[in-house]
Amino acid sequence: MTQIPESELILNADGSVYHLHLHPDQIGEIIFTVGDPERVPEVSKYFDRIDFKVAKREFITHTGWMGDRKVSAMSTGMGTDNVEIFMTELDALVNIDLKTRLIKPVHTSLQIVRLGTSGTIHADIPVGSFLASETAIGLDTLMQFYPDLECDQSIAQALRKTLDLKFDPYQAEGSKSLLNQLSSDFSRGLTLTAPGFYAPQGRKLRIPAAITQYLERLESFRFGEKRITNFEMETAGYYAMGELLGHEVLSLNAILANRATGEFDKKAEKTVDLMISAALKLLL
Ligand SMILES: O=P(O)(O)O[C@H]1O[C@H](CO)[C@@H](O)[C@H]1O
Ligand SMILES: O=c1cc[nH]c(=O)[nH]1
């Protein structure tokens, strides 16, 4: 086996991984992730005990215990580019020996659960509700740089035609075993991961849209019984990296915006808090 060079697996002077600034013993076996660094304490306030708090850039980590399970709450910031760094370095913490720089012979699979916020495109999905992403489609180009995913790509291909895209979107699946632990408080959905908040999610303030009738095309898109339920900016990246690296990943979304009705959740903070406590109860 060849050693991974210092320029590829970069370690800080204290031996921690480059961006997350963590050592292997500083993460839990189940990791709850959020986009917003300020949401990390909103998750860790439910831990019985916090052992570590580490901060680097947008990557904030709180690790502690809930009952007999070691858990982490971590932020990634926004977008799949951050998710790629996050998933790769998190995986390195468990699957690469940082001292020898060799891949460990026995693979460790982590459970990673995103607790995110999202907007829906359908009037019948209310703000304040919770949605688990069964499948996600990435409208970013991250997967152009990685090997082909094994999971079915037919919804992504159909969507490419519907939107007349000049690139291949990618399709990836959430963890079935984590999904099965959820209650009916979480509806199931097909999530569109956008490489931005405005035009890539059909919002226009001053710059006109390049793709005409974008929200209308998405709203009427059907693949058998399936329809696109919601927009956010990370889930497909998590699912794709999770498949490639061999981790169980699930993305849960608090629906804060309804693009069909023009509403934004007036109790957004409360909604996110309710989703966090429901998810921790069901998954731990
Ligand atoms: O609230 P978080 O988890 O950041 O998730 C959503 O909110 C951000 C946009 O406001 C994007 O990151 C999107 O995915
Ligand atoms: O509409 C929304 C709301 C939250 N996050 C998003 O990415 N989009």
**ipTM above 0.90?**
yes
pLDDT at 192: 98
Q: How many CB atoms lie within 10 A of CB 144?
A: 9
pLDDT at 51: 98
Ligand 1 contacts (CB < 6 A) are 34-36, 78, 116-117, 197, 232-234
Residue 1 pLDDT exceeds 80 = no
Take atom 4 of ligand 2 and give the residue whose Cα is closest.
118
In tens, the pLDDT along 218-251 reads 999 999 999 999 999 999 999 999 999 999 999 9
What is the CATH number that goes with domain 24-283?
A: 3.40.50.1580
Amino acid symbol at 129? S
Please state the rounded mean pLDDT for residues 190-198. 98
In tens, the pLDDT along 91-124 reads 999 999 999 999 999 999 999 999 999 999 999 9
CB 232 near ligand 2, within 6 Å: yes
Per-domain residue ranges for the chain?
24-283
Helix (H, G, I), strand (E, B) or coil at 125: coil
Q: Pick from 117, 133, 139, 198 the residue to mutate for probing ligand 1's pocket: most ligand atoms within 8 Å of its CB.
A: 117
Helix (H, G, I), strand (E, B) or coil at 92: helix
